[in-house]
């Protein structure tokens, strides 16, 4: 049980961190840079927020399968594959939200920042920092999507006991065994964890606001 919870958190939190490392800068570039085809990229990243988890899982499965282009990595049916699939699910949320938040901030403050001599590129860290509360909400939305989904991790992880079984795939398994009581109990545990994590994030936000004004 602790192992299942630990794996769920490890996979989802890692995916969230990777998605942030990639998504925050990409979202910022999308918000501030002007290039041909930008509109199309914006629409695409918004649309991908609706990517069905099982499709994301299937794409990663076909890539990582031994008969696929990345088969030699032997990642299929491992936690690594699950992290990749969930990163794919969270990334569009982080990119889209970062773009939206930074666009608004830039519109509001760009004259001020320019007068201080900041170029668009130099303004990015400042804007990210100013938008941190809104961005945190986006990151939590990404965490929620990843921790709740079962379609992707089931396909690429294989729900192997003691190895790639997460909270959500365990809930699916118990449902299939007709163990509805246990399935609901696991669901409550998952919900409690999500609640605690969100409370911690909210508390940290309040604390930072109080301390930094």
Q: Which is nearer to other proteins, 31 or 82 (CB)?
A: 82
Residues 45/95, Cβ–Cβ less than 8 Å: yes
Nearest distance in Å: CB 51, other proteins: 21
In the bound state with other proteins, the residue whose beta carbon lies nearer, of 17 and 118, is 17
Q: What token pair was written down for 63?
A: 């890539």
Residue 27, token pair as written in the block:
């979202």
Cα Rg of the chain (Å, integer):
19
Q: For residue 164, give the DSSP letter.
A: T
Residue at token pair 């996979």: 11
Task: Report, in Å, the least distance between residue 35 CB and other proteins.
Answer: 28
Q: Which is nearer to other proteins, 49 or 128 (CB)?
A: 128
Q: How far is the CB of 52 from other proteins (least distance, A)?
A: 16
- Cβ closest to other proteins, residue 178 vs residue 213: 178
Q: Min. distance of Cβ 65 from other proteins in angstroms? A: 5
Closest listed residue to residue 56, CA positions, set 187, 164, 172, 145: 145
The residue ranges that bind other proteins (CB under 8 A) are 10, 13-14, 17, 21, 65-68, 71-72, 74, 76-79, 83, 129, 158-161, 163, 173, 175-181
Q: Which is nearer to other proteins, 184 or 195 (CB)?
A: 184
**What is Dmax (Cα atoms) for the chain?**
66
**Minimum distance from CB of 208 to other proteins (Å)?**
9
Alpha carbon distance 141, 189 (integer Å): 19
From residue 161, alpha-carbon distances to 8, 14, 86, 169 in Å are 13, 21, 20, 10
CA distance 133 to 202: 9
Q: Taking phi first (over 0 means left), then psi (-120 to 50 degrees means alpha), and beta for anything else, what does residue 166 get? A: beta
Least distance from C-beta 195 to other proteins, angstroms? 21
Q: Which is nearer to other proteins, 68 or 144 (CB)?
A: 68
């Amino acid at each position: 049980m602790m192992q299942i919870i630990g794996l769920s958190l490890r996979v989802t939190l890692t995916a969230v961190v990777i998605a942030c490392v990639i998504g925050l800068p990409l979202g910022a570039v999308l918000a501030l840079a002007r290039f041909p085809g930008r509109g199309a990229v914006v629409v695409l990243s918004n649309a991908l927020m609706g990517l069905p988890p099982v499709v994301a899982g299937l794409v990663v499965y076909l890539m990582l399968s031994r008969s696929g282009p990345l088969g030699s990595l032997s990642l299929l049916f491992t936690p690594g594959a699950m992290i990749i699939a969930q990163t794919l699910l969270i990334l569009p949320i982080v990119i889209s939200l970062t773009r939206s938040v930074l666009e608004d901030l830039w519109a509001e403050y760009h004259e001020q920042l320019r007068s201080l001599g900041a170029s668009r590129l130099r303004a990015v860290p400042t804007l990210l920092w100013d938008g941190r509360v809104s961005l945190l909400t986006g990151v939590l939305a990404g965490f929620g999507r990843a921790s709740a989904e079962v379609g992707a991790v089931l396909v690429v992880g294989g729900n192997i006991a003691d190895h790639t079984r997460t909270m959500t795939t365990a809930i699916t398994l118990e449902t299939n065994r007709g163990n509805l009581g246990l399935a609901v109990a696991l669901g409550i545990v998952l919900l409690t964890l999500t609640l605690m994590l969100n409370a911690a994030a909210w508390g940290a936000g309040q604390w930072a606001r109080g301390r930094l004004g």
